A and B are shown apart, each in its own frame.
Chain A
Amino acid sequence: MRKAVLLSVLLLSAIWTASAEAQTKGKPLNLKLSVVSDSDSQPVAGAACLLTDYGIFAVTDAEGSSVFGNVPQGKVSVSVQLLGFEDFLQEYDFRRDTAVVVRIKESSLMLEQVVVTATASAAGSSTSSTIGRMAIDHLQATSLKDIMQLIPGQLMSSSDMTSEEKLTIRTLSQSTANNAFGTSIMMDGVPMSDNASLSDKVSGSTGGSGVDLRQISADNIESVEVIRGIPSAEYGDLTSGAVIVNTKAGYTPFEVRAKINPTTLNTSVGKGWKFGGDAGSLNVNADFARASGDPRVKNRSFDRISGGLTYSNTIGRIWSTTTKLSVNGIIDLRTADPDLLVEGTETGQQQFGLRLSHKGRISLNKPLSRSINYSMGFSLTDSKSWTSAIVSADGGLPIITSLTDGYCKVPYITESYRATGGTVSRPLSFYAKVGNVFTANTSTLKQRFNMGAEYRLESNKARGFYNEDDFMPLRPTSNGRPRPYFDIPALSQVSAYLEDNLVWELPLDMEFKLQGGVRADVLQPGLPEQVWSVSPRFNASLKLTQWMTLRGGWGRSNKTPGLAHLYPEPKYTDREAAVYLPSDSSKQLVVYNTRVTEVERNNSLKNATNTKAEIGADFSFKNGMTFSVVAYRDFLENGFGNYTEYSTYYSNYYTARQGILLDSHGNPYIDWNNPARVDTVFTTSGRIGNTRASLDRGVEFDFNFGQIKAIRTTVLLSGAFMETQTWSTGPNFSSPSGIPASSVYAQGGANTPPFKLVYPSGLQKDIDRRFSANLRLVCNIPRMKMVCSLSNQVIFFTYSHTTNQKSDPYAWIDTDLSWHEITPAMLADPDYRIKGILLSAQRKNPADSNPITQPPIWLMNMRLTKDVSKNFGFSFYVNNAFYYMPYQASSYSGTLTERNTGTFSFGVEMYVKI
């Protein structure tokens, strides 16, 4: 690892020294771009113009012009972007001072080519898909999760928003926590982090398991880029990938949208103003969504209200800024069922969030600093969940509430009671990043250096899990102790990155591109729990001919643990010490022994590291056809998971025969030194370790067959063959079997075995495979201002298998935690016993379960978007248009089960633009 870092630093500095020298050759140029609207040839002000190879940018003035100075000679890609217009990207070869007129097209269904699908990234950079506003409109997405179905290999889905929506990349695993937690979501340059979330025992959500996407309204999104491959070193604190979300900023017409389908109602209003002169522009939006997962179950609802205020301005033509304030409120209620209210159960959840972000870019255009970009963000979320329920005593319930070690007399109740409790969580985050871009060029070698530093601070100081009445707890068990979050330290993280984007023009029109970078992250610097990592990343491509490019990449990405992983809740182990329940209930005595196990701060938890490797080929033909195939392998070797470790302690047990005495009034008391039994108890801590591993691999393909002109239909085919394997790498302990029920070990219950056996880990693997493809036909009729698409998804097969290999214990730990090896000779002896227990009975030889495969199944969705006039339009969709829900049997069971369930839905969206 260190060698790789050293090598990359040396390589970068060597290239830089060589190229900086060469850079002085050739006179730098001045360029002038005049941006005009394609429809009326009027100049367009406020368009962001970027020379992508050099990172130089400028914003057009009122005359639509922008000027670049100090531009190296040679080929350069010019990108022009403006809200409401199609992105412009073209390569020029500048040899002298030049003025160029760029015509940009207004986004409209009247365009010859309308993109309502995801667009693949250019070679030489991360493998990603970009989804534009048109595609989001056509999809009628209500949340960010809906948009993901355009990514190759992802299945089409209808979201119902009544449960948490988390985003996973390139995985088939059911346990998605590590993948979703390792997916970075960048909103306007500022990450939306889940690092400070903690498990909510009331709503059941798990801390550190990914951002809930329902809080992001889709109507205010301008574009989304999903990086599935090896991300640029600029993006950190991730393992599986990154999702870059840009929201609307700048001038937009007044726009009202309403989406209605049987489960969701979503309306939004937005408007952007341009103040003229140097006053900048303001964009305002508000959104309301109400979802009920099943129209028949009205007591379960989800309400979201969100709004945003975005101010953007360019100061002195070189400093462009965007400042955004957004608020959102989520109310997730499960209350209104009158039957449940009568019964006494009430559950609800609400969340209010505030985000303030500011990003800017200063075009210095100096040799060692072409532009400086920075971003800052602050977010605060206040989330509450509460429940009120009747706790069942079921004839006898000890109420154990002790928060300290020791024996405690506890109330023993026989009547159910009403309890109220909840969780208050207040994740707060601050983020700051500054980056610098400069270039170094020779006639054949162009380099763009990108470097920067980042700081994050995240905390969650709140009331945490609480009971209204601590003596009437919501959960009178070990897992029900209150947990305030005030003592949990804040997380701070410092990162730095350096990256070189190199383009080397080779003879015969060939071209080699390399994006090589390295990133270093340190979490909790200076504290005992400090975690650090270095992530080298490379993406390379070789253009062999005009129509064929090969590409490949390798990189490591690291996800730092969150609060939930670093600071787990203390573990309470409560053991019965005396249960004296005579028929006269006034003379009862119930005593429990509580043991509190805390995880120490220096807990050797490391970052989760994902090593990604990719190889692929892109073919691009003059007739517009593009074919792209990429094979990938993502290996997450140390994801976060529970880590089993034992400590042992003695716990006494007192009975009416020994240890419980009666005073002169017949009241029982305990003779502490005279227990009837002393148990040696094994107890675990709540430690989280790097114990989950996963291997995702597969082949993704994305084919665009171009437009069949006669029927104005574009044919696109995308899909993936995916495989995911997950397993645990943590210690694998097991209690021995065959403990006689009458022995002291069995009398103490499950946690008092004579010893624990240690088995090899990782032998049990969950393997899932899927091959799916989606054929999209997009028909675009500009004269009718209409676009219609048909998506045919076929899942050719799904496969799932849990391997359950035979395993023999290789060691055992005694009650004093001493470690003892088990040798093959001991295993071979059929009569060998450990503490009286037969060793040969501990050899596990389970029957391997059969793999389950499902037969092919198809699904067809139809969508239509039409602009009735310039001011009014609508979209309509029907998912599973043929209502195809066949009963099929899997290879494992002859039982017929209905498939494609929940896929049928339909809806309409209308919009008015003034």
Chain B
Amino acid sequence: MKRIMTFAAMAAAVLLCLSCTRRAPSGTDPFLLEFVMPEECRSGVFYAGQAVQLRGALDYEFETDICGMVNVPGIVPGIYDITTSIELSGKEYKALLKEPASISDKARVIVGVSLMNHRIFSAEDLRIQLGAAIAGGLVISKVYYSGTRDKMDRTYTTDSYVEIFNNSDEVAYLDGKYLGLAESVSPAAYPAKDNPDSIYLRQCCRFPGGGTDYPVQPGAAVVVAAKSARNHLESALNTVDLSNADFEVKLTEGSGNPDVPMLPLITNSTSVQYFNLLSGGPNAVVLFETNEDVTLWPQVYQRGKTSGELFLRIHKSVVTDGVECLKKPAQTAPDVNTKRLQQDIDAGYAVITSVNGYNHESLDRKVSRSEGGRYYLSDTNNSSADFVVCTDPTPLKYDKEGMQ
């Protein structure tokens, strides 16, 4: 027995020594992250007490001190996405400015930043300029493109839709607004990293109306059937009823479902007669507004080509909301280099869990708060934070699991 004990003790000692030979990867030395408020803010205003996320080799979360600084204690070296944001009311934000601005008190202002693919391999202090953006009243609240499988287990993709939500406290009007779908060719023809100011659209729809014909009440939403406004539940189980959709994308009024108004395609790089959301992505959807005739804006071929699809080029300043839905590769995380939307439109991205789709997953904007049955949706211009994947694609529903 004694010999067994001795042997066991020796074995334990050897194993203990062996275990000591494995070390955790050595971190960087401590360094400072400083977040600087937007330039229009008064001096002496700091980004204090806000959460900052670092996502990369490992995920970290820190909080800024009263001077808007984070004393990072040393992290695993690697490539990180650094994100942070705060939502302020118009009134709150105006109080921070050097000069008065024409921002409504009820407007929502997002102050934040999203720094993608930043290399942190040594302890270098970093000064990061924050930006501010006024969140529009109308936001894209749901994008459903994955499709599903029908009762015979075949792929089913005509049930896709886009939902647009009035996130403000005032009535918003869709009249004359544009819904665009960025180019989605592979490899990306015009990724945002190479095109800091422009977005290239495959398709662009213009909402009808003379200015006040299509009101959207605060907290209400409209559903745009991308391909077919019918009750898809007749053909598949896990899908949606779009027979009551507000719009159906089509080329000719009176075709398709005659009870659903047409959302006309005014530019189209292909000959498909519907809103061409791809079941596996990528789908970068934007909502924009302009007084100009967009059909006169330049249309360009893919770089180096003189035939094929013609993409409509729009300046990012006209965009009021955008959602970047990336394609999920089979093995790896989505490639942020293929993002079509710039950081200030969408600092992050949303993605479904399947490579090719058909798994009835919709991308839904999270609820930030609700007051008496009225939902306010999260809008930080960062889809990674604002959107959640829901396996129930039902439109106009805000109490799904994970949305709160």
Interface residues of A (CB under 8 A from B): 343-344, 390-396, 414-418, 576, 578-583, 585, 653, 655-658, 660, 676-677, 734, 737-738, 740-742, 746-747, 749-750, 806, 843-847
B191 to A: closest C-beta gap in Å: 19
Given contacts A396-B230, A747-B252, 19 further A-B contacts (CB under 8 A): A392-B155, A393-B154, A394-B150, A395-B157, A395-B235, A396-B228, A416-B150, A418-B152, A581-B230, A581-B257, A582-B257, A582-B259, A653-B255, A655-B252, A655-B254, A655-B255, A738-B310, A747-B251, A845-B306
Known: A737-B307, A742-B295, A846-B304. A392 touches B235 (CB 8 A): no
Report whether A742 and B154 are in contact in the complex, using a CB–CB cutoff of 8 Å: no
Picked from B230, B253, B267, the residue with its CB within 8 Å of the CB of A657 is B253
CA distance A394 to B159 in the complex (A): 9
Chain A residues within 8 Å of B256, by CB: 579, 581
Q: Which residues of B contact A (CB under 8 A)?
A: 150-159, 227-228, 230-232, 234-236, 243-244, 251-259, 264-268, 271, 273, 295, 299, 304-307, 310
Q: How many Cβ-Cβ contacts under 8 Å join chain A to chain B?
A: 120
Q: Which residue of A lies closest to B148 (CB)?
A: A395
What is the CA–CA distance of A653 and B150 in the complex, to the nearest angstrom?
30
Q: B259 — which chain A residues lie within 8 A by C-beta?
A: 582-583
- Knowing A417-B152, A738-B310, A740-B295, say if A396 contacts B158 (CB, 8 Å): yes
Shortest Cβ gap from B350 to chain A (Å): 24
Q: Which 4 A-B pairs have the closest CB atoms?
A: A655-B254, A395-B158, A656-B258, A392-B154
5 residue pairs of the A-B complex, CB under 8 angstroms, read: A415-B150, A676-B252, A741-B268, A742-B295, A846-B305
Chain B residues within 8 Å of A740, by CB: 295
Q: How far is the CA of A908 from the CA of B115 in the complex (A)?
A: 62
A652 to chain B, nearest CB (A): 12
In the bound complex, residues from chain A placing their C-beta under 8 Å from that of B157 are 394-395
Nearest CB on B from A831, distance (A) = 15
Residues of B within 8 A of A676 (CB): 252, 254
- Chain A nearest CB, measured from B248 CB (Å): 10
Q: Are A585 and B234 in contact (CB under 8 A)?
A: yes
Q: Which residue of B lies closest to A413 (CB)?
A: B235
A579/B255 in contact, CB under 8 A: yes
The residue that B227 contacts in the complex, of A395, A582, A843, A846, with Cβ under 8 A, is: A395
Task: Assess the A844–B153 pair: CB atoms within 8 A.
Answer: no
Q: With a CB–CB cut-off of 8 A, which chain A residues contact B151?
A: 415-416
A394 near B255: Cβ-Cβ < 8 Å = no
Q: Could you say which residues of chain A place their CB within 8 Å of the CB of B156?
A: 392, 394-395
The smallest C-beta distance from A843 to any residue of chain B, in angstroms, reads 8
Residues in B whose Cβ lies below 8 Å from that of A738: 299, 310
A582, B258: Cβ atoms under 8 Å? yes
Contacts of A416 in B (CB 8 A): 150-152, 154
Which of B157, B158, B232, B306 has the largest count of A CB atoms less than 10 A from its CB? B306
Chain B contacts of A844 at CB under 8 A?
A: 306-307
A171 to B154, CA, bound (A): 42
Q: Closest B residue to A749 by CB, please name it.
A: B271
In the complex, how many angstroms separate the beta carbon of A454 from the nearest chain B beta carbon? 47
Closest beta carbon of chain A to B99's beta carbon, Å: 43
Given contacts A416-B154, A749-B271, contact A734 B254 (CB under 8 A): no
Q: How far is the CB of B292 from chain A (nearest CB, A)?
A: 16
Instruction: Contact check, A734 vs B304: say whether CB atoms are below 8 A apart.
Output: no
- Minimum CB–CB distance for B256 against chain A, Å: 6
**What residue of chain B has the Cβ atom nearest to residue A660's Cβ?**
B254
Chain A residue nearest in CB terms to B308: A737
> Quick one: which of B150, B159, B266 has the most chain A CB within 10 A?
B150
A365 to chain B, nearest CB (A): 69
Instruction: Give the residue of A394, A578, A742 whose beta carbon is less than 8 angstroms from that of B158.
Output: A394
- Which interface residue of B228, B230, B264 has the most chain A CB atoms within 10 A? B230
Cβ A395 vs Cβ B159 within 8 A: yes
Collect the chain B residues with CB atoms within 8 Å of residue A656's CB: 254-255, 258
Q: Which residues of A are found within 8 Å of B267, using beta-carbon distances?
A: 741
Report how far A787 CA is from B235 CA in the complex, Å. Answer: 67
A418 to B151 CA separation, bound complex (whole angstroms): 12
Nearest B residue (CB) for A578: B255
A846 touches B306 (CB 8 A): yes
Q: Which residues of B contact A582 (CB under 8 A)?
A: 257-259
CB distance from A340 to the nearest CB of B (A): 12
Contacts of B253 in A (CB 8 A): 655, 657
- Give Cα A579 to B155, complex, Å: 23
CA distance A676 to B256 in the complex (A): 14
- The interface residues of chain B lying within 8 Å CB-to-CB of A415 are 150-152, 235
Q: Specify the chain A residue showing the minimal Cβ separation from B203.
A: A741
Of the candidates A395, A578, A843, A847, which one forms a contact with B230 in the assembled complex, judged by CB atoms under 8 Å apart? A395
| A345 CB to nearest B CB, Å | 11
Q: Which of A394, A658, A843 contacts B154 (CB 8 A)?
A: A394
- How many Å lie between the Cα of A676 and that of B255 in the bound state? 10
Q: Which of B159, B244, B295, B304 contacts A847 (CB 8 A)?
A: B304
The interface residues of chain B lying within 8 Å CB-to-CB of A845 are 306
Instruction: Given the known inter-chain contacts A395-B158, A581-B256, A583-B257, please indicate yes or no for A742 contacting B231, CB distance below 8 A.
Output: no
**In the bound complex, what is the Cα–Cα distance between A583 and B266 (angstroms)?**
26
Q: Contact at A657–B304, with CB atoms within 8 Å? A: no
Task: Tell which of B254, B299, B306 touches A658, judged by Cβ atoms closer than 8 Å.
Answer: B254
* A residues in contact with B265, CB < 8 Å: 741
Cβ–Cβ < 8 Å partners of A343 in chain B: 153
A581 to B156, CA, bound (A): 18
Closest residue on chain A to residue B301 by CB atoms: A737
Residues on B with C-beta less than 8 A from A843 are: 306
Taking CB atoms, residues of chain A closer than 8 Å to B244 are 583
State the Cβ distance, A234 to closest chain B Cβ, in Å: 48
> Could you say which residues of chain A place their CB within 8 Å of the CB of B150?
392-395, 415-416
Instruction: Indicate if the CB atoms of A414 and B255 lie closer than 8 Å.
Output: no
Q: CA A391 – CA B295 in complex, angstroms?
A: 39
A39, B244: Cα distance in complex, Å: 95
User: Taking the nearest CB of chain B, how far is it from the CB of A756, in angstroms?
Assistant: 14
Given contacts A656-B258, A734-B307, A737-B307, are A583 and B295 in contact (CB under 8 A)? no
A341, chain B: closest CB distance, angstroms: 13
Residues of B close to A750: CB separation below 8 A: 271
**Docked-complex contact A583 and B255, CB < 8 angstroms:** no
Known: A343-B153, A845-B306. A657 touches B257 (CB 8 A): no
A344 CB contacts on chain B under 8 angstroms: 152
Within the complex, the shortest CB–CB distance from A497 to chain B, in Å, comes to 48
Q: How far is the CA of A843 from the CA of B307 in the complex (A)?
A: 10
Most chain B beta-carbon contacts within 10 A, residue among A343, A579, A845: A579
CB distance from B62 to the nearest CB of A (A): 38
A717 to chain B, nearest CB (A): 43
Smallest CB–CB gap between B307 and chain A, Å? 6
**Contacts of B152 on A, CB cut-off 8 Å?**
344, 390, 392, 415-418
CB distance from B144 to the nearest CB of A (A): 13
Q: How far is the CB of A771 from chain B (nearest CB, A)?
A: 30
Q: With a CB–CB cut-off of 8 A, which chain A residues contact B257?
A: 581-583
Measured CA separation A585–B233 after assembly (Å): 13
Query: What chain B residues lie within 8 Å of A394 (beta carbons)?
Result: 150, 154-158
A847 to B307 CA separation, bound complex (whole angstroms): 11
| Alpha-carbon separation in the docked complex, A742 to B295 (Å) | 9
B228 partner residues in chain A, CB cutoff 8 A: 395-396, 581
Nearest-neighbor residue (CB-CB) of B232 within chain A: A395
Q: Would you give the shortest CB distance from B74 to chain A, in whole angstroms? A: 35
